[in-house]
Amino acid sequence: MPEELLKGFGKPQLAMVLSLAGRDKLANADINKVKQGLSEQGFYLQIPPPIENLLKVHLGSDKKD
């Protein structure tokens, strides 16, 4: 992993082993991008999506066109 990532995240810990063999999709990531990252960079970094601001969504739904 790049040194900058290690500085930001600290010492890596094994969280999960997941076989990609025989899979054609993953729940929250594009499997082709995951495989590409693993083969080209040696890792795949998945960042959680931003937290949705439900108040902003609600207020935006009141707009009249």
pLDDT digits (tens, 9 = 90+) for 34-48: 999 999 998 888 888
CB atoms under 10 Å from CB of 38, counted, come to: 12
pTM above 0.85, yes or no: no
The label of the residue with tokens 């999960």 reads: 16
Percentage of the chain lying above the pLDDT 70 cut: 92
What architecture is the 3-60 domain classified under in CATH?
A: Roll (3.10)
3-class DSSP assignment, residue 7: helix
**Per-residue confidence at 55, pLDDT binned at 50, 70, 90?**
confident
Tokens describing residue 38: 């693993």
pLDDT digits (tens, 9 = 90+) for 12-37: 888 888 899 999 999 889 999 999 99
**Per-residue confidence at 61, pLDDT binned at 50, 70, 90?**
low
